[in-house]
């Protein structure tokens, strides 16, 4: 008869491999300590400080070379990229992203039926609510960098 601790270890190992295979690395005990260290206040202050410093540096350099709105956009994107790299490296987001990609490509079969149902309603919405002179005049008057910053803001909110 196998030892109870061996049976429990096997059960835990099976559960942890299932969690990792399904994009849930935070439920694996061996990742808990590494993630806890990555979310340490001192480390986060350093990472946010580095992201802000690099963002300001890149933004000022771009702002001096072009204009202020481009500098703000470049600074924000640079800081976001630094934080994204830290999150991918330290917080074990690769399994989560891999699971999301697998789910996305696994659901491509549903794309055609969903699009054919949504397009008529979307066409009505675009025809009557978006295509009017005032919206296009406001959009054309915006600086291109400010327009992209607005698009990034709404994408972030979504």
CB-based burial, 38-68: b 16+ in 10 Å, e otherwise: beeeeeeeebeeebeeebeebbeebbeeeee
Report the pLDDT value the prediction gives residue 4, as an integer from 0 to 100: 62
Tell me the percentage of the chain whose pLDDT exceeds 70: 93
Domain assignment present for 56: no
Domain assignment present for 38: no
CA distance 103 to 23: 10
The torsion defined by the Cα of 39, 98, 85 and 35, in degrees rounded to 10, comes to 10
Domain assignment present for 58: no
Domain of 133? 108-158
Domain assignment present for 124: yes
Domain assignment present for 74: no
Provide the pLDDT confidence category of residue 1 given band limits of 50, 70 and 90. Answer: very low
CA distance 57 to 74: 10
Q: Give residue-wise pLDDT tens across range 13-72.
A: 899 889 888 888 878 877 878 888 888 899 999 999 999 999 999 999 999 999 888 999
- Mean residue pLDDT of the chain comes to 85
Domain assignment present for 156: yes
Domain assignment present for 8: no
Residue 80 has pLDDT above 80, yes or no: yes
Count of the separate structural domains present in the chain: 1
Report the pLDDT value the prediction gives residue 59, as an integer from 0 to 100: 95
């Amino acid at each position: 008869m196998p030892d109870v601790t061996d049976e429990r270890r096997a059960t835990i190992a099976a559960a942890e491999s299932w969690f990792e295979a399904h994009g849930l690395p935070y439920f694996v005990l061996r990742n808990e300590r590494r993630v806890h260290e990555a979310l340490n206040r001192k480390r986060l202050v350093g990472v946010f400080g580095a992201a802000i410093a690099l963002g300001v540096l890149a933004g000022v350099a771009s702002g001096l070379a072009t204009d202020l709105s481009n500098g703000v956009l470049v600074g924000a994107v640079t800081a976001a990229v630094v934080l994204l790299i830290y999150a991918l490296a330290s917080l074990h987001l690769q399994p989560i992203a891999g699971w999301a990609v697998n789910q996305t490509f696994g659901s491509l079969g549903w794309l055609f039926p969903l699009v054919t149902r949504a397009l008529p309603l979307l066409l009505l919405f675009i025809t009557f609510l978006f295509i009017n002179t005032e919206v296009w005049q406001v959009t054309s008057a915006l600086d291109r960098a400010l327009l992209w910053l607005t698009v990034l803001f709404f994408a972030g909110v979504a």
